[in-house]
Amino acid sequence: MSAVVQSISSAAPDAERELTDGFNLIIDALKLNGLDTIYGVPGIPITDFGRMAQAAGIRVLSFRHEQNAGYAASIAGFLTKKPGICLTVSAPGFLNGLTALAHATTNCFPMILISGSSEREIVDLQQGDYEEMDQLAVAKPLCKAAFRVLHAQDIGIGLARAIRAAVSGRPGGVYLDLPAKLFGQVMDAEEGRKSLVKVIDAAPAQLPSPESVQRALDVLKGAKRPLIILGKGAAYAQADDAIRQLVERSGIPFLPMSMAKGLLPDLHPQCAGAARSTVLKDSDVVMLIGARLNWLLSHGKGKSWGDQPKKFIQIDIEPKEMDSNVEIVAPVVGDIGSCVSALLAGMGGAWPVPPADWTTAVAKKRDENVAKMAPRLMNNNVPMDYHGALGVLRTIIKERPDAILINEGANTLDLARGVIDMHQPRKRLDVGTWGVMGIGMGYAIAAAVETGKPVLAVEGDSAFGFSGMEVETICRYNLPVCVVIFNNNGIYRGTDVNTGGDDPATTVFVKDARYDRMMEAFGGVGVNAVSPDELKRAVNAAMDSGKPTLINAVIDPTAGSESGRIGNLNPQSALKKK
Ligand code: OXT
Ligand code: ADP
Ligand code: MG
């Protein structure tokens, strides 16, 4: 109970009135709504708020940079379906957190960025307050909703709106602006209690229309070469059993997007992850479940989709997503749990299996690709190449299927996605829709905190650098996080040369850096691993002990390729081409 008791003899000479203030009301409102963890960085005007929240039993995790705290909050939202809370100071702290808020919105993760701010009247007249900025206006275009609370009695309703906006419909980021004076505003405690709102049914089920379900089933029934694509929206929905039933009863091959890997195991007989090009090209009906036809799916058209005419069925909670690139012949609008259940009900007892020539062709291609890759994963080369190192990590994840894998980089990301099979839902967390570097340590911290499971973060050396200082945070909270840095001396490769002078090339780093020593500096375990065998031993030891560990995995600097698997997106100089 956080309300303060005070005597205010001047206002109520005959009685003692119980009072509360902005600080306590925000804490009470968060707790009332089950929001028990805050990721942030303290400072003016929220330092005392952090202290008081911690004293009131909220877990307040203090980071070294707001962007990492924000990424932590965003992935907490994805994992829990409750908005992840990020708390920052004004102007620069707010801006540091804003990248993560925009990332949450883009990836459809529920998150609330709460920032202290300057007083509205000073901001509006540009009177030059400490860190003065019109944060609300800056945040608006980058999030789903933005609210400012000016009066203590509006804190309850303000937070309720923020929660509902973050989790209902398509989830996303919400900004909540709290001017400094609000924290100290005093009001009657009983009135304050009454002003709080416990949000009822924050993300109501959204049932699809029966016609849309029937239309989808009709299209699916007519398919000769059907495909189901599972996206991270399907993972977020936590409708795992229903989705599995739909896939298995339909007998249709499925392709998981990166963060949907493991929703059904990658080793499932219907998984077409290792036959990606084939299924995209040759399918005739594609059912998208919680996946957008954005750049990661070549917008549903062009070379990678082949010459076969396609029909798309799309299940999504956002009606505006339909027809965003190509015609959706069967839009099914609703929450994935309700939509998939309705489809299952409509399928009835007997559902025709897809033609055997299709499922056999998919399985054959998949098995060929898997067989082609297998020997590369067994190599014990020194220096390590990506496949030798990843082969070891693939086995470790197979043996520890409940561990959470965080992954970022270019080659380190793209090759790990293919090599490391996932076995359970929501265990692979990565760069997402924007391909953003810097999610690593924030995600690792939130994954450990929210799930209590061991975390393995597989990081390119460049990718790690974006959030590397948070290894101190990992040590401070003694989290079971094992970071493996694929150290190839640079971005993509460590061998680039500057043709115009003595400075290093733009993509190379200090040669043979020892990132493991960063972890040792804060009391964690550091290991330098030069062979797959050494890597295996070190990761297993870290996962067994649960001690914060950083393994510097020395990778051949010539092994990677420019931009990993998306080198085609690099513009070419017109002059060079001539
Ligand atoms: O079917 P085919 O034959 O085609 O084969 C496919 C699958 O069927 C097969 N496969 C398998 N085979 C066998 N067995 C198994 N189990 C198996 N599974 C699959 O493998 C192939 C490939 O499969 P995949 O990957 O599914 O398919 P594909 O075609 O690659 O998919 C296309 C995509 C687009 C869906 C996929 O590639 C994808 O999801 N890509 C995401 C890429 C991405 O987001 N990249 C990150 C951004 S890159 C760049 O921007 C970087 N920056 C700039 C920067 C960024 N990003 N952010 C910020 C804030 N600032 C700057 C930087 C700085 S990367 C980067 C750092 C890089 O350096 P690091 O040191 O960190 O990393 P290194 O490169 O390691 O040095
Ligand atoms: P991926 O990158 O894995 O392809 P995207 O982020 O592109 O996935 O797509 C996720 C989609 O899932 C978004 O269009 C979003 O609206 C949708 N979505 C998120 N949660 C739900 C839900 N509970 N029910 C239905 N659709 C959802
Ligand atoms: Mg690298």
Sequence-separated contacts (24+) of 2-9 with Cβ below 8 Å: 2/27, 2/28, 2/52, 2/56, 3/28, 3/189, 3/192, 3/193, 4/189, 5/189
pLDDT of amino acid 16: 81
- Best residue among 395, 485, 491 to mutate for probing ligand 1's pocket (most ligand atoms within 8 Å of CB) is 491
Q: Do 4-195 and 379-564 have matching folds?
A: yes
Place of tokens 């929703």: 263
Q: Quick one: average pLDDT of 33-53?
A: 98
Give CA separation, 495 vs 110, 290, 506, 509, in Å: 41, 40, 11, 10
Q: Over 60: is that where the pLDDT of 525 sits?
A: yes
- Best residue among 254, 261, 369, 562 to mutate for probing ligand 1's pocket (most ligand atoms within 8 Å of CB) is 369
Ligand sitting nearest the alpha carbon of 319: 2
What's the CATH code, domain 210-366? Answer: 3.40.50.1220
3-state secondary structure of 37: strand
Q: Over 70: is that where the pLDDT of 1 sits?
A: no
Nearest residue (by CA) to ligand 2, atom 18, is 233
Tens-digit pLDDT profile for residues 79-101:
999 999 999 999 999 999 999 99
Return the C-alpha torsion angle 113, 119, 125, 127, nearest 10.
-110
Nearest residue (by CA) to ligand 1, atom 11, is 274
Q: What residue ranges line ligand 1, CB within 6 angstroms?
A: 258, 273-278, 296, 369-370, 373, 409-414, 417-418, 431, 435-438, 460-463, 486, 488, 491-492, 560, 563-566
User: Could you give the percent of the chain with pLDDT greater than 90?
Assistant: 95
Nearest residue (by CA) to ligand 1, atom 61, is 437
Nearest residue (by CA) to ligand 2, atom 5, is 291
Instruction: Give the phi and the psi of residue 576 in degrees, each rounded to 5.
Output: -65, -40
- The alpha carbon of 485 and the centre of ligand 3 are apart by a number of angstroms equal to 9
- The alpha carbon of 480 and the centre of ligand 2 are apart by a number of angstroms equal to 29
Boundaries of every domain in the chain: 4-195, 210-366, 379-564
Sequential DSSP letters for 164-212: HHHHSSS--EEEEEEEHHHHH-EEEHHHHHHH--PPSSSS---PPPHHH
Tens-digit pLDDT profile for residues 196-235:
999 999 999 999 999 999 999 999 999 999 999 999 999 9
- Best residue among 82, 236, 314, 413 to mutate for probing ligand 2's pocket (most ligand atoms within 8 Å of CB) is 236
Place of tokens 């949907």: 260
Average pLDDT value for the chain: 96
* Closest atom of ligand 2 relative to the 107 alpha carbon: 6
* Cα angle 277, 283, 287; round to 5: 105
Phi-psi region of 116 (alpha: psi -120 to 50; beta: other; left: phi over 0): beta
Ligand sitting nearest the alpha carbon of 337: 2
**Which residue from 364, 450, 578 is spatially nearest to 35, judged by alpha carbons?**
450
**Cα(498)–Cα(262) distance, rounded to whole angstroms?**
42
* Closest atom of ligand 1 relative to the 258 alpha carbon: 39
Q: Where are the beta strands (DSSP E) in 382-502?
A: 404-408, 428-430, 455-460, 481-487
Q: Quick one: average pLDDT of 142-163?
A: 98
* Closest atom of ligand 1 relative to the 298 alpha carbon: 34
Q: Over 70: is that where the pLDDT of 4 sits?
A: no
Secondary structure (H, E, C), 343-367: HHHHHCCCCCCCCHHHHHHHHHHHH
Instruction: Return all residues near 520 (Cβ < 8 A) that are at least 6 apart.
Output: 526
- Kindly indicate the confidence band of residue 14, based on its pLDDT and cuts at 50, 70 and 90: very low
**Which residue from 441, 227, 204, 201 is spatially nearest to 313, judged by alpha carbons?**
227
* Closest atom of ligand 2 relative to the 260 alpha carbon: 3
Tens-digit pLDDT profile for residues 449-506:
999 999 999 999 999 999 999 999 999 999 999 999 999 999 999 999 999 999 999 9
Rounded to a whole number of angstroms, the distance between the first and last alpha carbons of the chain is 73
- Best residue among 276, 304, 484 to mutate for probing ligand 1's pocket (most ligand atoms within 8 Å of CB) is 276
pLDDT of amino acid 124: 95
pLDDT of amino acid 9: 42
Q: What residue ranges line ligand 2, CB within 6 angstroms?
A: 107-108, 170-171, 231-233, 236-237, 257, 259-260, 290-292, 294, 296, 316-318, 321, 335-336, 433
Biggest alpha carbon–alpha carbon distance for the chain = 90
**Cα(104)–Cα(96) distance, rounded to whole angstroms?**
14
* Closest atom of ligand 1 relative to the 266 alpha carbon: 16
Q: Over 80: is that where the pLDDT of 354 sits?
A: yes
Give the other-Cβ count within 10 Å of 271's Cβ. 22
- The alpha carbon of 403 and the centre of ligand 3 are apart by a number of angstroms equal to 24
pLDDT of amino acid 537: 98
**Which residue from 71, 133, 74 is spatially nearest to 463, judged by alpha carbons?**
71
- The alpha carbon of 197 and the centre of ligand 2 are apart by a number of angstroms equal to 28
- The alpha carbon of 321 and the centre of ligand 2 are apart by a number of angstroms equal to 10
Helix count (H) and strand count (E) of the chain?
23, 20
- The alpha carbon of 118 and the centre of ligand 2 are apart by a number of angstroms equal to 36
**Cα(442)–Cα(40) distance, rounded to whole angstroms?**
11
What's the CATH code, domain 4-195? Answer: 3.40.50.970
- Best residue among 317, 324, 341, 413 to mutate for probing ligand 2's pocket (most ligand atoms within 8 Å of CB) is 317
Instruction: Return all residues near 49 (Cβ < 8 A) that are at least 6 apart.
Output: 23, 26, 27, 87, 116, 183
Nearest residue (by CA) to ligand 1, atom 37, is 565
Nearest residue (by CA) to ligand 1, atom 46, is 435
| 379-564: CATH, from 3.40.50.970, 1.10.520.10, 3.30.390.30, 3.20.20.150 | 3.40.50.970
- The alpha carbon of 572 and the centre of ligand 2 are apart by a number of angstroms equal to 33
Judge if pTM exceeds 0.95.
yes
- Best residue among 254, 364, 437, 495 to mutate for probing ligand 1's pocket (most ligand atoms within 8 Å of CB) is 437
Give CA separation, 26 vs 2, 77, 118, 160, 476, in Å: 10, 19, 18, 11, 26
Q: Quick one: average pLDDT of 232-243?
A: 98
Place of tokens 């002059």: 575
**Cα(203)–Cα(187) distance, rounded to whole angstroms?**
31
Q: Over 80: is that where the pLDDT of 380 sits?
A: yes
3-state secondary structure of 408: strand
pLDDT of amino acid 474: 99
Place of tokens 């040792």: 520
- The alpha carbon of 556 and the centre of ligand 3 are apart by a number of angstroms equal to 10
